[in-house]
Amino acid sequence: MDILVFALCLAIGIAAGYRNWLPPYLTSRSSWGLTAAVYLLLFLIGCELGSYRSVLEQMSGLGVQAAALCLGGLLGSALLCRIVGGGGGV
């Protein structure tokens, strides 16, 4: 059910952007809002991970390789966003 709600919200957003249903003052601030939402999401994911004591206790056993993989994914995603987004935002 969650994926249906996600797909519906995305479709409505695409239609609204394509048909210019939103006022210009709102669309001009959409980049800032999107960046704020991503930071909030990352913060909430960190809070969720931090609440699992067993995961934090096992972090030392995961090793440098797992940490490097996570860091590489994060940096790769940020770099791709910068390239695709034209250098602004992230």
Per-residue confidence (pLDDT) for residue 87, from 0 to 100: 59
Interval 6-31 mean pLDDT? 87
pLDDT > 60? residue 18 = yes
Structure tokens at 17: 């952007």
Answer whether 0.75 is exceeded by the pTM: no
What's the start-to-end Cα distance of the chain, in Å?
31
Backbone dihedral angles phi then psi of residue 84, each to the nearest 5 degrees:
-70, -40
For 23-74, how does the pLDDT look when each residue is reduced to its tens digit (9 = 90+)? 888 878 888 888 899 999 989 988 887 887 777 677 666 677 777 888 889 8
Q: pLDDT at position 89, please?
A: 52
Q: For residues 56 and 84, which has the higher predicted lDDT (pLDDT)?
A: 84
pLDDT at 77 over 70: yes
With tokens 């934090």, the residue in question is: 56
Which of 80, 59, 83 shows the shortest CA–CA distance to 70? Answer: 59
